[in-house]
Structure 1
Amino acid sequence: MISLTQLNGNTFTLNAIYIEQIQSFPDTTVTLTTGKKFVVKESEEEVTKLITGFYRNITLLPLSQKKEGL
Structure 2
Amino acid sequence: MIVVTRLNLSRFAVNPDLIERVQASPDTTIVMVDGARFVVRETMDELIAQITAFRASVLAQASRLASARQAEGL
TM-score by structure 2 length?
Answer: 0.78
The correspondence of residues 34-49 of structure 1 with structure 2, limited to 5 A, is 34-49=34-49
State the partner residue of 1:8: 8
Q: Deviations over 1:9-60 (max 9, x none)?
A: 0000111110010010100000011110000000000000000011111118
Aligned length: 60
Q: Which one has the largest radius of gyration?
A: 2
Q: Which runs of 4+ in 1 moved over 6 A?
A: none
State the partner residue of 2:21: 21
Over the residues paired in the alignment, what is the CA RMSD in angstroms?
A: 1.2
TM-score by structure 1 length?
Answer: 0.82
Distance 1:29 1:13 in 2: 14
Structure 1's unaligned 5+ residue stretches are 61-70
